[in-house]
Copies of this chain bind each other. A is one copy, B any other.
Amino acid sequence: MSANSRLTIAAHSLTWIGLYQRRGHEVATSEQIATSVNTNPVVIRRLLGELRGAGLVDSRRGAGAGWTLSRDLAAITLLDVHRVVEPGPVFALHRATPDPDCVVGRGIGPAIKAVYDDVEAAMQRELARTTLEDVLRDVLAAD
């Protein structure tokens, strides 16, 4: 697969909007965000559009339009973002059903899925520990 930087780009975008608003601006445009991220504005709009669907950001249209956070940075965890931009499991089970006449073929699916579920849970616990406020703090501290 090509590199999957959706979570990175989404977190970057939200953090940028948060800092921009904190500095007194009303709305951030996808053009501005794209400049900081170094990508195309449409990429930003697509991602932020998904995040809007999850209630993390709002958008205004028309002249003077742009994006605003729906919640404070401190109320958005990386897990919140991850859930939106990376749905679906990290590991897939078999693409085709394994041989039902084989013990291993019959039992391996459920057996390994139990492990995958634990792995996902551990991942989510880690992602939930960090808010975008934490990220912004680290960003500013490193400057």
| Residues of A in contact with B (beta carbons under 8 Å apart) | 1-5, 7-9, 11-12, 15-16, 19, 35-39, 78, 90-99, 102-108, 110-112, 114-115, 118-119, 122-123, 125-127, 129-130, 135-136, 138-140, 142-143
Contacts and interface: CB of A to CB of B under 8 A. Distances in A.
A2 B96 CA distance: 13
B36 A112 contact: no
Nearest to A15: B104
A4 B92 contact: yes
A142 to B, nearest CB: 5
Contacts of A38: 94, 96-99, 105
Contacts of A91: 4-5, 7-8
Contacts of A110: 138, 142
A103 B19 contact: yes
20 contacts: A1-B2, A1-B4, A3-B92, A4-B90, A4-B91, A8-B94, A11-B112, A15-B104, A15-B108, A16-B104, A38-B97, A103-B140, A103-B143, A106-B139, A107-B143, A108-B135, A114-B138, A118-B126, A122-B122, A122-B123
